[in-house]
């Protein structure tokens, strides 16, 4: 698989790495069809979609989904396209920590709430810090599992900026576990993705973990 195909997979949020041309184009449902589906769900749940309090809910629900899943309409690679090369040869670690993260579990479509930390060792190019926060948001605003979200963020930084190394750690609570099913509030999941020197050099890894203030035991590598 070529690097170009890797980036293409990242942009489209897929796990299989296949080309966009190997799948037939399909027409998405209209807004009216989406609202009709919400009315069906309301009725299935046992309520009347025509009662006053629920009459406008299908429209509100669809507008909320447009915000929740806006990441499908944005290109994460474009976010990192503008970089700064006049950095006075700065080659120390750059870390952006405690980035608020709001996503949705692809298995139950309920919220994943937490924070992300991103670090990288530049190799002549740096990117505006707001772009890193936006990168998290673009991938978070898709139907996700946390392991894939962590990898997508790290892999995109590595592919586009080509730094000497990248580290991404995400800590999040999953409402599919805290509000339904096993119902265990207060539980958080930690995932990490280390590339380049962050994976190969234990000192670099320790510096990153120290900078983000992580005092937890072990992290799950995606």
Catalytic positions: 105-108, 146, 174, 176
Local structure of 102: helix, strand or coil: strand
**Lookup result for tokens 């898709």:** 142
Let me know: does 175 contact 83? Beta carbons within 8 Å.
no
Residues 187, 172: Cα–Cα separation, whole Å: 9
**CA 167 – CA 195 distance, rounded (Å):** 6
Contact 124, 90 (CB under 8 A): no
Q: Rounded to whole angstroms, how far apart are CA atoms 11 and 72?
A: 8
Residue written as token pair 């037939």: 24
Helix or strand holding residue 97 (H, E): strand 94-105
Residue 197 sits at the vertex; the CA angle it makes with 195 and 203, to the nearest 5 degrees, is: 125
CA-based nearest residue to 169, from 115, 103, 106 = 115
Tokens of 188: 């958080």
């Amino acid at each position: 698989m070529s690097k170009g195909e890797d980036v293409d997979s990242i942009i489209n949020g897929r796990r299989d790495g296949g080309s966009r041309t190997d799948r037939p184009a399909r027409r998405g449902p209209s807004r009216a069809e989406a609202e009709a589906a919400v009315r069906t769900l309301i009725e299935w749940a046992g309520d009347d979609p025509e009662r006053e309090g629920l009459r406008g809910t299908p429209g509100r629900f669809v507008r909320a989904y447009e915000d929740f899943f806006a990441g499908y309409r944005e290109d994460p690679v474009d976010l990192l396209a503008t970089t700064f090369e006049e950095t006075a040869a700065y080659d120390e670690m750059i870390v952006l920590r405690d980035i608020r993260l709001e996503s949705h579990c692809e298995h139950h479509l309920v919220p994943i709430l937490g924070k992300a930390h991103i670090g990288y060792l530049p190799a002549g190019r740096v990117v505006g810090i707001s772009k890193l926060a936006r990168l998290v948001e673009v991938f978070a605003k898709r139907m996700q599992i946390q392991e894939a979200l962590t990898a997508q963020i790290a892999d995109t930084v590595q592919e586009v900026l080509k730094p000497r190394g990248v580290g991404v750690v995400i800590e999040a609570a999953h409402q599919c576990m805290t509000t339904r099913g096993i119902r265990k509030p207060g539980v958080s999941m930690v995932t990490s993705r280390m590339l380049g020197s962050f994976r190969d050099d234990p000192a670099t890894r320790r510096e990153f973990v120290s900078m983000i203030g992580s005092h937890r035991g072990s992290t799950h590598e995606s």
